[in-house]
Structure 1
Amino acid sequence: MREARNAISLATISALGLTQIIGYGTLYYSFSILAPGMAKDLGVTLEQVFGVFSVSLFVGGLSAPVIGKQMDRVGAATVLTLGSLLSALTLALCAWSPSVAVFALAIVLLEISSGMVQYQAAFAALVESDPRTAPRSITYLTLIGGFASTIFWPISAALMDYLSWREIYLMFAALNLFVCMPLHFWMMRKGKAAIASGTIRERERVIGAIPPEARRGAMVVVSSAFAILGFTLASILAHMVPMLGNLGLGTASVVIGSLFGPAQILSRLINMIFGTRLSPPVLAVISAALMVTGIVILGVSGSWLPGAVAFAVCLGLGSGINSIAQGSLPLYLFGSDGYGAITGKMAAARLALGAAAPFVFAIAMEQIGIGLSLFATAALGTVGMAAFISVAMSTKRSLVAAG
């Protein structure tokens, strides 16, 4: 029975891993590569394109709590399935858009669908399946999902030599419709069949480390920390390859940017092997420290190639651990009951603040230069790191008092 359950879990993680690569690659990472073509085709500035993207992130943040509640109500796999269909439709709408207004609407809908198919929903599906093993499954999933940027940044850049951004988005729509949706539908059917046959065991609840009377304050601090680090990371990722090019790294920019993905994978692999003794709050602190360090290195080194490589590696290492913390820290602190709604609220805070990140960072680079923009972003990330440190210390005190 245990071997069969492990095989099912492996199949689920593998399916989700593939859909996360496609979901993040087509709906997020490709945007910075395709944005210049979008701006030229639509007759607007690049800053205006990123402004639309920022608005879509804000709307996506507003929709996150609703999506989280629906995951608790109808199941995460059902939300994933519907999200894949909506992703395909909105990508096709983007490709067809005859005007800036239609394009803007499509991008907003695209960000809502992203919240239905990316890590928030995937983590909830793993927690629903087995709360006790969910932290380990989340690590495995993020290990696979880390390939998204490595695969889709070069692919998007290469396709731009042969296809328009509209044709590329049609290809991406097909991937979501014919690859992601069937896999999510299979997960949905598998879960319903297990419930109907009575073979699914009673799930073991996970009790959070934070006592009920302290949950509200902890939610505010943790949500704020993730939001600040999300703003920091979104600022850099949205402009990473073009920014490296503007620093004077030329054609090496795409190669350097592609190191971000392997570094994410490496951090998750290291955590999977050696990080089992580290609590989620400690992992969150480490992730923030790595991201801040990477940004500072790039600000100091400028066009120096080894510095740019170190920046991409540190940022990737920190981002990789941060993705794990986004799934495991809420489960560790607040437990498995209402996990979808809890992570939905956290995603809302993260996306609401991160909504302005691509636009603000683009304006900052234009007004004060890349170097000062990087240092300002690193300073903001340090605030998020301090918030995670306070959570780690308060959690440790709570566990000592309870023990």
Structure 2
Amino acid sequence: MSGRGIPDRTLLWGTAATQLIGWGTLYTPFPLTVAPIEAELGWSRVLLNAAYTCGLLAAGLGAIPAGQWLDRHGPRAMMPLGAFGASGLLVAMSLVQHPLAYFALWILIGAAQAMCLWGTAMAVVVAEAREPTRTITAITFLTGFTATIFLPLTDWLIGTFGWRGALQVLAAMQFVAAAMTWAMLREARAPARAAAMTAGPSLWARLRQPAFAGLALCFAAHAFIGTGLGAHLIPLLRERGWPESMVLLLAAAHGPAQVAARGVLFVLGRRVTMRGVGRLATGLLPIAMLALAAGPSSLPLTLVFVGSFAVADGLLTIVRSAGAAEILGREGFGAINGALSAVAMLPRTFAPFALALVWEGAGGYGPVPWILVGVALMAAGSFLVAATARQPAPPGAAT
């Protein structure tokens, strides 16, 4: 990379603000819009969720080409284009009248997400920041409040302006985020194209390295657990007979505990490595799932699950970017990060459906936590492989 680059403070606050707004306008509102769209247009809930799933798939499939573009050309054009495009697509979504248009808009929104949301943004931070781990930790701390802000805000907007008016307000907010993205990236370093095209192994060679395979499997397992429990935790706790107030309290505790873990990591700073943080986080995952499986009527074990899973989830969000850069290196990280996102796409998208099938076949959630224990053990083992794998020396290095 060449040029003066974005100062870490600007990168931190600019990325945190634009990602918080981006996720808050393009991802968080969907569950709140389903019922009013269903009521007005008469479309089935299956259709609405299928279109949304297509958007998730488009975002996953678009991650690799977006990362490759970022490595070759830098973020100055792609990220603002995706962010401004997302704003226009939200306006178009507010005017939708036909199911085919609804599907097409979600697919395009997924492509826009690949261009400007988390994976691409973190690749920019890895490329630009002087202290990428500390910067990413601070960003994830701030963006941890996205749902806290945007769920009640979107609910109020829908109640006040209807779902169409709410999407138009969110589109205006996304336009502001796009303008902020453009302003922040004016100082981004331009990629050194000749070096980027010749230095280091090709993407295909990187994909075959044990470290990449270990990280990919780990993050895919984590994605399966996270999205699966995101969809099924509340009904699972209800099935166990917990009072509704306790169910909601246990589910709501995840966010604050997650943010607290990130805050502690930020304070520790350089005293820890991402390999060490990843070992801790992936070690907590099976402990959390085992507590969930073994203690269906035990409040202490349920609290162990809530705390351990929240800490693991909060730390793995950081390891997903900063840890991958530490283990795999920062050269060509845009494409590598995109490939990691693409691998996690299918488990992230289909975990809720897969666990629903288990629930239906078993007549309850009994087997689900034990399945998640196995998935969590796979995540821990895979990360250990990645963290201990020996990376090939770069071209020209002394041997």
TM over 0.5: yes
Higher helix share: 1
2:253 is the counterpart of 1:259: yes
Read off the aligned partner of 1:134 and give its amino acid letter.
P
Equivalent residue for 1:199?
none
> Partners in 2 of 1:23 and 1:10 — Cα distance?
20
Q: Deviations over 1:76-122 (max 9, x none)?
A: 24332122112212222333221222222222222222222222122
The farther-off stretch of 318-327 and 20-29 is 20-29
1:177 CA displacement: 0.9
The farther-off stretch of 315-324 and 37-46 is 37-46
Instruction: Find the residue that maps to 1:337 and give its secondary structure.
Output: coil
Equivalent residue for 1:218?
211
> Partners in 2 of 1:155 and 1:96 — Cα distance?
21
Decide whether aligned partners of structure 1 residues 100 and 72 sit closer, same or farther in structure 2, where only a CA change above 3 A counts: same
1:323 CA displacement: 1.2
2:331 is the counterpart of 1:333: no
1:158 CA displacement: 4.9
Read off the aligned partner of 1:191 and give its amino acid letter.
A
Equivalent residue for 2:196?
none
Equivalent residue for 1:115?
114
Read off the aligned partner of 2:181 and give its amino acid letter.
H
Identity %: 23
Equivalent residue for 1:169?
167
1:176 CA displacement: 0.7
Decide whether aligned partners of structure 1 residues 240 and 109 sit closer, same or farther in structure 2, where only a CA change above 3 A counts: farther
Q: Deviations over 1:166-204 (max 9, x none)?
A: 3333222221112x1111011122337xx7xxxxxxxxx
TM-score using structure 1 length:
0.80
Equivalent residue for 1:394?
389
Q: How does 1:355-366 map to 2 (within 5 A)?
A: 355-366=349-360
Decide whether aligned partners of structure 1 residues 53 and 7 sit closer, same or farther in structure 2, where only a CA change above 3 A counts: closer
> Partners in 1 of 2:178 and 2:91 — Cα distance?
15
Decide whether aligned partners of structure 1 residues 252 and 89 sit closer, same or farther in structure 2, where only a CA change above 3 A counts: farther
> Partners in 2 of 1:366 and 1:31 — Cα distance?
25
2:153 is the counterpart of 1:150: no
CA root-mean-square deviation? 3.6
Equivalent residue for 1:290?
284
2:380 is the counterpart of 1:382: no
1:136 CA displacement: 1.8
1:29 CA displacement: 3.1
> Partners in 1 of 2:124 and 2:366 — Cα distance?
41
Instruction: Find the residue that maps to 1:356 and give its secondary structure.
Output: helix
Decide whether aligned partners of structure 1 residues 255 and 113 sit closer, same or farther in structure 2, where only a CA change above 3 A counts: farther
> Partners in 2 of 1:301 and 1:103 — Cα distance?
43
Decide whether aligned partners of structure 1 residues 269 and 17 sit closer, same or farther in structure 2, where only a CA change above 3 A counts: same
The farther-off stretch of 236-245 and 269-278 is 236-245
Decide whether aligned partners of structure 1 residues 6 and 324 sit closer, same or farther in structure 2, where only a CA change above 3 A counts: same
Decide whether aligned partners of structure 1 residues 49 and 168 sit closer, same or farther in structure 2, where only a CA change above 3 A counts: same
Read off the aligned partner of 1:184 and give its amino acid letter.
T
2:131 is the counterpart of 1:133: yes
Kept in 2, the 8 Å contact 1:295–1:374? The answer is yes
> Partners in 2 of 1:375 and 1:9 — Cα distance?
43
> Partners in 1 of 2:263 and 2:30 — Cα distance?
27
Q: Deviations over 1:286-332 (max 9, x none)?
A: 22343444445445555877766654443332221111111112211
Kept in 2, the 8 Å contact 1:287–1:317? The answer is yes
Kept in 2, the 8 Å contact 1:153–1:258? The answer is no
Q: Deviations over 1:113-161 (max 9, x none)?
A: 222222212212222223x521221112111111112222343445555
Read off the aligned partner of 1:74 and give its amino acid letter.
H
Q: How does 1:39-118 map to 2 (within 5 A)?
A: 39-118=38-117
Kept in 1, the 8 Å contact 2:6–2:128? The answer is no
The partner residue of 2:264 within 265, 270, 283 is 270
Kept in 2, the 8 Å contact 1:287–1:318? The answer is yes
Read off the aligned partner of 2:383 and give its amino acid letter.
F
Instruction: Find the residue that maps to 1:370 and give its secondary structure.
Output: coil
The partner residue of 2:338 within 344, 352, 366 is 344
- Counting matched residue pairs gives 381
Read off the aligned partner of 2:342 and give its amino acid letter.
A
1:51 CA displacement: 3.4
Kept in 1, the 8 Å contact 2:75–2:124? The answer is yes
Q: For structure 1, which runs of at least 5 residues remain unmatched after alignment?
A: 196-206
1:344 CA displacement: 1.0
Kept in 2, the 8 Å contact 1:72–1:339? The answer is yes
1:366 CA displacement: 4.3
The farther-off stretch of 40-49 and 120-129 is 40-49
Kept in 1, the 8 Å contact 2:285–2:308? The answer is yes
> Partners in 2 of 1:189 and 1:52 — Cα distance?
35
TM-score using structure 2 length:
0.81
Q: For structure 2, which runs of at least 5 residues remain unmatched after alignment?
A: 191-199
